[in-house]
Amino acid sequence: MKITIEPSGRFQDVNGIRTRVWRGTTDEGGQLECYVALVMPKDAGANAALSKALQEVKAERELVSFDLRLVV
């Protein structure tokens, strides 16, 4: 089986580790999400380019609300 994934702007904590959510598809067309904590290219020179490309992916913001009466 082969999968194709692309980085999303979402992050998720998995076992206390902040991971980026990658969305993708299998070669059979199934949808999937991957929670990736570390990506390391085999070519050391490509590391800077990969880091720059991942930083250009805009982070998705999740709005939260809470009751101000609970704030002391």
Residues in the chain, how many?
72
What pLDDT was estimated at residue 21?
94
Give the tokens for residue 39: 């990506």
Cα–Cα distance list, 25 to 4, 20, 42 (Å): 6, 17, 23
What pLDDT was estimated at residue 38?
87
* Angle at alpha carbon of residue 11, lines to 57 and 28, rounded to 5°: 80
Bigger pLDDT: 64 vs 2: 2
What pLDDT was estimated at residue 65?
78
Instruction: Fill in the amino acid letter for 26.
Output: T
For the stretch 12-66, pLDDT in tens is 999 999 999 999 999 999 999 999 998 888 887 788 888 888 888 888 777 777 7
**Predicted TM-score (pTM) of this structure:** 0.69
Distance of CA 27 to the CA centre of its chain: 21
Bigger pLDDT: 49 vs 6: 6
**Domain residue extents for the chain:** 3-55
